[in-house]
Amino acid sequence: MSSTILIVDDDPHIRQLLVFAFGKAGLDTIEAANGEAALAQVERHAPDLVILDINMPRMDGLEVCRRLRAGSDVPIFFLSPRDDEIDRVLGIELGGDDYVVKPFSPREVVARSLAILRRTAARPPAVENVSVLRHGRLSLDPESWTTHWRDQEVSLTVTEFTILRTLLAMPSRIFSRDNIIDRFRGSGFALTDRTVDSHVRNVRRKFADAGGSDVIETRAGVGYRMGACAGVPVTS
């Protein structure tokens, strides 16, 4: 069954270019010219991927992403109007999966979108003989895709959850950023070291808000591993 791509941009020319490019790749597309229409299209059609322009009038792409992430894990690919680090990091920390800066190659957007679709279609890594993973005050349930700090649930995006599960499955191991990317994204996914860092910062912030300031440790020049999860601060 063909995947459906929602293309959200207030510029009809950009939508037309992407509709044509995705059509050549054999993918179905639907369109939205603004944020409100995008949310309605997601509700109506449940697309497999959203291509989302950041700079739109009335409701920008970051706000659309924020609202989608309140109740959906649909992958989001940002189109940014400028090479701006704030837009990039904020977009990823809100739960975006990738981004490209305008002007862009439609073929590149299609190729990177296909990589995201391959990742989301793949089964999550199996956790053998374990229903709930526990480490200190942290628990993670791979079956229900939920995480808790003590008795408080901590809501994570699919990407954040998968990073945490990767580390938690082998809490004494140090994972490089490449290890993390390969572990759950698969080869060919356009994910950068900086993107992994943004997701890790987001996981840390969410657990810190719940009282867990020692969930993930940074090993300088190497990567990340699980912290003690005892509820005390660590130096990152």
Q: Length of the chain in residues, anyone?
A: 236
Compute CA distances 206 → 16, 149, 176, 230, whole Å: 39, 10, 22, 15
Of the options 1.20.1630.10, 1.10.10.10, 3.20.20.70, 1.20.1740.10, the CATH number for the domain spanning 133-226: 1.10.10.10
Tokens of 187: 């080869």
How far is 99 from 88, CA to CA, in rounded Å? 7
Residue 179 in this model has a pLDDT that exceeds 60: yes
Instruction: Domain ranges for the chain, please list them.
Output: 4-121, 133-226
- Tell whether pTM > 0.75: no
Q: What does the pLDDT read at residue 236?
A: 45
Helix (H), strand (E) at residue 28: strand 28-32
pLDDT at 150 > cutoff 80: yes
79-129 tens-digit pLDDT: 988 766 666 666 666 777 888 888 999 999 999 999 888 877 754 444 444
- Give the Å distances, CA to CA, from 49 to 3, 6, 30, 35, 209: 8, 6, 11, 15, 30
For the chain, give the percent of residues with pLDDT over 90.
50
Indicate whether 15 pLDDT > 50: yes
Q: What is the pLDDT of residues 121-149, one digit of tens each?
A: 754 444 444 578 999 999 999 888 899 99
So what's the pLDDT on residue 53? 94
Task: Look at residue 86 in the predicted model and tell me its pLDDT.
Answer: 60
Candidates 1.20.1250.20, 3.40.50.300, 3.40.190.10, 3.40.50.2300; CATH matching 4-121: 3.40.50.2300
SS3 77: strand
